[in-house]
């Protein structure tokens, strides 16, 4: 995957026009004329707006904070100008913040060791507050793979109350592991990463806990497990956090036309983390679907056969709260009207990948995709293959806002340019960039600004977003068996296809 110098001149080629030509099956729905395509400058304009909003509102756009509220107002304003009637759906969520830096140390056996925050450990989101010095005990350390690793109450049989629980990541949510530890009267929890997974896990416990919880890379966690088994290991963990309830909202807007019993939901989360403005994560997805929404609703555009519902989710960084609230708020009858969900979470990573969610389950990892998800994956892959642009399958693990949809059997798919995972030499050979460095070095950091965007990668992702959206607005037959209906008498006739313009080259809850 390619990596371009930050600030490189963006492409101006109308990739969307090419996307629409290749993506539509015969007989094709109307292909838009090239004068009104989605360009990278449309997306750049929205990203610059998000950046300015963050800069004047505390440096972030986190849910429950002023930067998020102003971001919602910006999206609503832009949608109204485009002819939508957006709906703001409020909800409450559990918020959490770290008031002062945490401390983590080995006090015995000698020599003592003090661990560095941000490098050796970090506080898990929704950790409780406390200052604990106690013996440490390993919980269900698997011989290989993740095992149950604290996912079952039985894993804590014989656990010494008042000890620090050492638990490996995997198999179930961090919340489940911490809840089982708390029920076993652990004084604190240390969750360490899986073998072969670099760095921290960037995990959330999903809800406020009373005991301190920190996470470490695998190497340190494995070292502590060995010391605990040898006997005499004592750890100090100090955390200072605050938690409570805050309000946030989703923004939802439907196209004026299209079947309302076969709705294509196109979503991206609008919130950032507290650490920064969140321009790649996930201003890039939010800005892209906003530009596509504005394009699809322009006067004179051929009406979509299926209604497209654009959604900007709130509090994704707090544990998919907004999308879960939306799906849970629907009746069973209304959920049955949703044909599928497209999700776009990070599209411009500066050392990124062109990842397509593994909808057919060929990776053999992650969750089991609902039927139809493989067809969505193929739509994206075909789009990029026709342009000579390589793709990689991205794990379909339910860790972004498509998760609540697939839990209800709704097919889903999407694109992903990569977060904190390190790029491999093979990926660098395919796409350029730097092997051994994260896809996004500014993931969840203050440096996630407009300077943190690979504009060419984002441009190609935008073409895929637009192509899939228009293709599925025309027909969802390969996804859910709903055949295209005949054009009504008097409806606009399809325009001729335009020449294809090409450019050739190059989050977690458990």
**Which positions are catalytic?**
316
Q: Could you say which DSSP state residue 62 is in?
A: B
Rounded to 5 degrees, φ, ψ at 355 are -90, 135
Residues found in the chain: 510
DSSP string computed for 264-292: EEEEEE--B-TTS--IIIIIHHHHHHHHH
Return d(Cα 504, Cα 394) in angstroms, integer: 22
108, 203, 443 from 162: Cα distances, Å = 16, 23, 35
68 and 248 Cβ atoms separated by less than 8 Å: yes
| Tokens linked to 324 | 């879960």
Compute the distance between CA of residue 371 and CA of residue 212 in angstroms, rounded to an integer: 41
H-run or E-run covering 262: strand 259-269
- Written as one string, the DSSP assignment of 166-214 is EEE--SS-HHHHHHHHHHTT-SEEEEEPPTT--S----B-SS--SS-EE
Find the distance separating the first CA and the last CA of the chain, reported in whole Å.
Answer: 26
Q: Which residues, 6 or more positions from 190, have their beta carbon under 8 angstroms from its beta carbon?
A: 121, 136, 164, 165, 166, 167, 213, 214, 215, 216, 221, 224, 235, 237
The structure tokens 């596509």 sit at 292
Cα 468 to chain centroid, rounded: 18
| CA atoms lying within 13 Å on the CB side of residue 469 | 31
Query: Residue 90 is encoded by which pair of tokens?
Result: 């409020």
Coil/strand/helix, residue 223: helix
CB neighbour class for 26 (10 Å; exposed up to 12, middle 13-18, buried from 19): exposed
CA dihedral 64, 324, 460, 1 (to 10 degrees): 90
CB–CB of 325/250 below 8 Å?
Answer: yes
The encoded tokens of residue 392 equal: 């990689």
C-beta separation of 149 from 168 below 8 A:
yes
Residues in CB range of 466: below 8 A, 6 or more apart: 15, 16, 19, 20, 38, 292, 295
Tell me how far apart the alpha carbons of residues 116 and 199 are, in angstroms, rounded to a whole number.
13
């Amino acid at each position: 995957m390619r990596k371009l110098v930050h600030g490189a001149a963006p492409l101006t080629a109308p990739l969307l026009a090419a996307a629409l030509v290749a993506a539509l099956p015969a007989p094709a729905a109307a292909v838009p004329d090239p004068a009104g395509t989605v360009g990278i400058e449309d997306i750049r304009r929205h990203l610059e707006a998000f950046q300015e909003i963050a800069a004047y509102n505390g440096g972030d756009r986190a849910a429950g904070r002023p930067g998020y509220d102003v971001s919602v107002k910006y999206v609503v304003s832009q949608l109204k100008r485009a002819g939508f009637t957006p709906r703001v759906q409020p909800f409450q969520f559990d918020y959490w913040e770290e008031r002062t830096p945490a401390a983590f140390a080995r006090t015995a056996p000698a020599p003592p060791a003090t661990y560095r925050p941000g490098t050796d450990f970090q506080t898990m989101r929704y950790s409780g507050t406390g200052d604990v010095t106690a013996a440490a005990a390993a919980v269900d350390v698997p011989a290989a793979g993740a095992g149950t690793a604290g996912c079952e109450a039985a894993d804590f049989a014989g656990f010494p109350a008042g000890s620090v629980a050492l638990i490996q990541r995997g198999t179930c949510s961090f919340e489940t592991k911490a809840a089982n530890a708390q029920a076993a009267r652990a004084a604190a929890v240390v969750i360490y990463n899986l073998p072969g997974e670099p760095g921290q896990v960037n995990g959330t416990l999903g809800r406020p806990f009373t005991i301190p919880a920190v996470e470490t890379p695998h190497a340190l966690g494995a070292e502590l497990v060995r010391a605990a088994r040898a006997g005499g290991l004592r750890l100090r963990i100090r955390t200072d956090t605050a938690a409570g309830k805050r309000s946030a909202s989703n923004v939802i807007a439907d196209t004026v036309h299209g079947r309302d019993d076969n709705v294509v939901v196109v979503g991206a989360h609008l919130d950032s983390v507290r650490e920064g403005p969140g321009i790649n994560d996930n201003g890039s997805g939010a800005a892209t679907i906003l530009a596509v929404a504005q394009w699809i609703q322009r006067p004179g555009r051929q009406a979509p056969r299926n209604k497209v519902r654009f959604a900007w989710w709130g509090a994704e960084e707090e544990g998919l709260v907004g999308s879960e609230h939306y799906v849970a708020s629907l009746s069973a009858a209304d959920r049955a009207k949703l044909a599928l969900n497209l999700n776009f979470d990070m599209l411009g990573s500066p050392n990124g990948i062109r990842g397509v969610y593994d909808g057919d389950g060929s990776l053999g990892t992650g969750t089991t995709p609902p039927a139809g998800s493989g067809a969505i994956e193929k739509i994206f892959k075909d789009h990029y293959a026709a342009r000579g642009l390589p793709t990689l399958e991205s794990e379909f693990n339910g860790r972004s806002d498509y998760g609540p949809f697939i839990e209800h059997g709704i097919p889903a798919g999407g694109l992903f340019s990569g977060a904190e995972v390190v790029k491999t030499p093979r990926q660098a050979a395919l796409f350029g960039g730097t092997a051994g460095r994260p896809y996004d070095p500014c993931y969840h950091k203050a440096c996630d600004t407009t300077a943190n965007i690979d504009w060419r990668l984002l441009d190609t992702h935008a073409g895929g977003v637009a192509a899939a959206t228009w293709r599925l607005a025309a027909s969802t037959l390969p996804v859910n068996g709903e055949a295209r209906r005949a054009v009504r008498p008097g409806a606009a006739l399809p325009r001729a296809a335009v020449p294809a313009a090409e450019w050739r080259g190059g989050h977690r809850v458990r």
